[in-house]
Each structure stands twice: as C-alpha cells, then as structure tokens.
Structure 1
Amino acid sequence: MNKTRLLATALAVATLGALLPCSAAYADDAASPCASLKRIVAAAPDGLASLNPDDGKGVAQPYGDDAQCSASHRSFQCMWTPHHDVGSTEDALQAVAADIASCLPDATHDQNAPGRQHFYLGGKGRRTGITLTPAGSNRLRLVVSGQ
C-alpha cells in the first residue's frame, strides 16, 4: 500500500471515529435523578404498576446505594439509607427535595418541613403527589402516588 492510500485510510478512520457517538460506560455513571423522576411521574397517576424497582434507584443513587423500590397500581415507593457524607437524614431529605424541584419545575411544592416534603402535579382527578419523608432514624422514603 502506498503512503497516499495509507494516509487516506487513516484519515477516513479518524473522521469516522470523530463522527460516531461514543457509547462507553464508566463506573461512576449513575442514573440521573431527573430522568428517574420524570419516568416515574410520566407513569402516574394510573400506570405506576408498569414501573419496575430499578426505575426509582436513580433518585436515590446520588445519596444512597441501597434503594428498595416497589410499585402498585396507584403508588410507587422507594426507601434508602443516605450516605454519611450527605449529612443528616434531614440534609438528605432537603437535597432530594431540591432535585425534585429542579427536575420537575411544573410541580407545586406545597409542604416544605424538616420532616416532610410534598409536591404535586396536575389537577383534580389526575393529580400526582410526591412525598418525601424520613423512614425511621436513618432512612428516606419517597412515595409517588396517583390521587
């Protein structure tokens, strides 16, 4: 192969590599809280049973690794233990509430207390409630429900 042909082939491969999207995954890639929240809320209020336990883990992952989630017809619930570096359970509750507020700007934040955060979306008859509370002394509970 002559130098010109080799150079043209190398250039074509480099160009193709630059144009194709990279799909590598890294160990620190975690599910986005916003993507998870939006997926859960999109299923509400009547399709929450279609979700699987992993659908809620992205909400918890920035704050804890042991999320346990479950779905029923009108409710989706996750519980997890916040990491120690997040601070107290109240600090973690406030941080998750801030995620909810920023990820779901159309949600109304109608209760903001150290022990309970509540948001809702939609009107009467098609309302979706989002409640975040402590569960015991060191766990958080997120409940999304159709109301």
Structure 2
Amino acid sequence: MTRSRLRPAIVATAATMAAGLALPLAAARADDTPSPCAALKRIVAAAPQGFQSLGPDDGRAVAQPYGDDARCTPSRSAYRCEWTPRDAGSSAAALQGVGADIAACLPDATHDQNSPARQHFYLGARSDRTEITAAAAGASRVTLTVSKP
C-alpha cells in the first residue's frame, strides 16, 4: 500500500475505533440507579402529613447501594425499610454507609448518635421533630426508620 493510501486507511480505522470506544464509555456513565438522596428527601418531606402517601418502592433507593432485597412499609407515624447487606455479615459497613448518605443528603439533620449498631439523626425542633434511625437488626439485617413521634 502506498503512503497516500495508507494514511486514509489509518485515519478511518482510528475513527472507527474511537467511535467504538466512545459508545461503551457513554453507556458506562449512564446511571439509571435511583438516588438515595432523592428517596431520603421524599420520605422526610412526607413526615408532616404522615407516611401513608408513600409506597413500598419509595425507600428502596436508600438501600440499593448496600442490598437488593429492601422491603419498605409506610404507616401513619413511620416509614420503615429493612434489607440484607450484599456482603454477608456486613451490616455494620452498610449501616455506616447509610449514615454517611443521610448526613450528605440531609445537611440540616443533627447526627446525635453514631455507633456500630445505630445511627440516629433528627430534623426540626423538639416539639416537631422528624427522627431518622438506621440500625443493625442482628448480624445480617439493616433497618431504616423515619418517624414522626
């Protein structure tokens, strides 16, 4: 192949390779995972009216980074989710992760308890407080409860 024919072939090959590489990179950046922050904010926002407006799927995004089997239940005074951490025996790690998510997503929340078995936050004045508790439920389960006492 002569030099004049070789250059266009190299350019065409490079362009094809670049296009092929760009697609997987773009696909890798697409994230359809629900946001833990959006879920936490939606749950906390429901507190003044009661949690009955929420459904079982509303809290799953909070658990999704840590486990796949979240079961969430709303009631008038609380919204509760429970799940098994992906890594067996890692409820403490999942609990710390959820605590970090709560602190990052709800910067106005006061973090008044941080232990290996329990993370506790609250929003608002004592008379109108929303409580947020993430806790280990045995060695293999984690719970998140948002309540309005």
User: Normalising by the residue count of structure 2, what TM-score does the alignment of the two structures yield?
Assistant: 0.76
Residue 96 of structure 2 aligns with which residue?
A: 94
Is the 2:78–2:146 contact (alpha carbons within 8 Å) kept by the matching residues of 1?
yes
47, 51, 56: which one pairs with 2:59? 56
Residue 137 of structure 2 aligns with which residue?
A: 135
47, 62, 65: which one pairs with 2:68? 65
Amino acid at match of 2:145: V
Q: Distance in 1 between matches of 2:92 and 2:99?
A: 10
Which has the larger share of helix? 2
Q: Does the C-alpha gap of structure 1 residues 113 and 75 become closer, same or farther in structure 2, counting only changes over 3 Å?
A: same
Fraction of identical pairs, as percent: 63
Amino acid at match of 1:114: P
Provide structure 2 residue ranges, at least 5 long, that are not aligned to the other structure.
1-28
Residue 104 of structure 1 aligns with which residue?
A: 106
Q: Does the C-alpha gap of structure 1 residues 57 and 27 become closer, same or farther in structure 2, counting only changes over 3 Å?
A: farther
SS at 1:129's partner residue? strand
Question: Radius of gyration: which is bigger?
Answer: 2
SS at 1:44's partner residue? helix
Number of aligned residues: 122
Q: Distance in 2 between matches of 1:46 and 1:145?
A: 11
Residue 19 of structure 2 aligns with which residue?
A: none
Is the 2:50–2:78 contact (alpha carbons within 8 Å) kept by the matching residues of 1?
no
What is the CA distance between 1:136 and its match in structure 2? Answer: 2.0
Q: Distance in 2 between matches of 1:27 and 1:73?
A: 36
Residue 116 of structure 1 aligns with which residue?
A: 118
SS at 2:132's partner residue? strand
What is the CA distance between 1:124 and its match in structure 2? Answer: 2.4
Residue 126 of structure 1 aligns with which residue?
A: 128
Is the 2:43–2:58 contact (alpha carbons within 8 Å) kept by the matching residues of 1?
yes
